[in-house]
Amino acid sequence: MKFLVISTSMSSTSRSRVLAQSAYERLPEAHQSGWLDLQTEGLPLCDGGPAADDRVDRLRREISGSDGILITFGIYNYLAPAATKNALEWAGRAAFEGKVVAFAAVGGGPGSLPSVASLTTPMLLDFGAVVCPKFIYTTGASFADDVLVDPDVQGRLDEFVATWTTLTQRVRAGDHHA
Ligand SMILES: Cc1cc2nc3c(=O)[nH]c(=O)nc-3n(C[C@H](O)[C@H](O)[C@H](O)COP(=O)(O)O)c2cc1C
C-alpha cells in the first residue's frame, strides 16, 4: 500500500502543515509513504485545459500511485481554501476513484467544523472515492511554536491514522464490508 499526505496550505507558518507532518510521522512503517506540500509545489491555477506542466503531472502521478490520500487544509471563509480546490481540479476524478481519502483541517475557531463537508461531498459523490468516516478538525490552540502540543488531538490523530490506513487496506483489497 502507498499512503500520500498532501499539505495544501500556502502559508509559510501553516498549522495544518504541522498537522500533516504529525500524521505523516504516524504512518505505518510497513507501507510506502509520500509527501506533497503545495506551498513548495507552486501549482498553476486550473484553467480546465490539458495542463502540459510538470507540477500538475507530478500531482496526478503521486495521487494515482497511492491507495490512501490524506488532504490537510486550513479553513478560509468557511470553506477549504482555493489552493486545495485547485489541486483537486487539476488531479481530477480518475486519480482519486476507488481510493480512500481522509481530511484533516485547522480553523481559527471551533465553529467552522462543518466546512470539511465542502470537500467530502464532491470526493464521495463525484470523484468516486471512499471517504474516511473519521476526520480531524482542530484550532490554533492545539499548537505551540510549530508543534502539535494538544494531547487530545495527538490521541485523536493516532486513532484517525489507524482508521484511515486500515480502511484503505481493506477497501483496496476488495473487502466490500470494510
Ligand atoms: C482569509 C482567511 C479566512 C479565514 N476564515 C476562517 C473561517 O471561516 N473559519 C475559521 O475557523 N478560521 C478562519 N481563518 C483562520 C484559519 O483557518 C487559521 O488561521 C488556520 O490556521 C489556517 O490554516 P493554515 O495555518 O494551515 O494556513 C481564516 C484565515 C484567513 C487568513
Kindly report, residue by residue over 15-52, the tens digit of the pLDDT: 999 999 999 999 999 999 999 999 999 999 999 888 77
Indicate the pLDDT class of residue 56, thresholds 50, 70 and 90. Answer: very high
Domain interval for residue 46: 2-172
Ligand 1 centroid from CA 14, angstroms: 10
- CA 151, distance to chain mean position in Å, is 21
- Could you tell me if residue 101 is inside a domain? yes
- Could you tell me if residue 178 is inside a domain? no
pLDDT at 3: 98
- Could you tell me if residue 20 is inside a domain? yes
Tell me the helices (H) and strands (E) count for the chain, helix number first: 7, 8
- Could you tell me if residue 31 is inside a domain? yes
Tens digit of each residue's pLDDT (9 = 90 or more) over 65-124: 999 999 999 999 999 999 999 999 999 999 999 999 999 999 999 999 999 999 999 999
pLDDT at 164: 98
* pTM for the predicted model, two decimal places: 0.97
pLDDT at 50: 80
Residues having CB closer than 6 A to ligand 1 are 9, 11, 14-17, 74-78, 106-109, 112, 140
Residue nearest to ligand 1 atom 1, measured at CA: 76
Neighbours of 130 (CB within 10 A): 21
Nearest Cα neighbor of 15 from 65, 72, 87, 69 is 72
Residue nearest to ligand 1 atom 23, measured at CA: 74
Ligand 1 centroid from CA 84, angstroms: 13
Q: What percent of the chain has pLDDT over 70?
A: 100
Name residue, grid cell 473519521: 134
- Could you tell me if residue 177 is inside a domain? no
What angle do the packed helices 117-125 and 82-91 form, to 10 degrees? 10
- Could you tell me if residue 54 is inside a domain? yes
- Could you tell me if residue 108 is inside a domain? yes
* Ligand 1 site-directed mutation target among 76, 136, 137, 142, most atoms within 8 Å of CB: 76
Out of 113-117, 127-131, 160-164, pick the least confident: 113-117
Q: What is the CATH number of the domain that holds 142?
A: 3.40.50.360
Look at the chain and report how many structural domains it folds into.
1
Torsions phi, psi for 79 (to 5 deg): -145, 170
Ligand 1 centroid from CA 98, angstroms: 30
Please say if the pLDDT value at position 177 is more than 90: no
pLDDT at 136: 97
- Could you tell me if residue 50 is inside a domain? yes
Name residue, grid cell 498537522: 19
Residue nearest to ligand 1 atom 28, measured at CA: 76
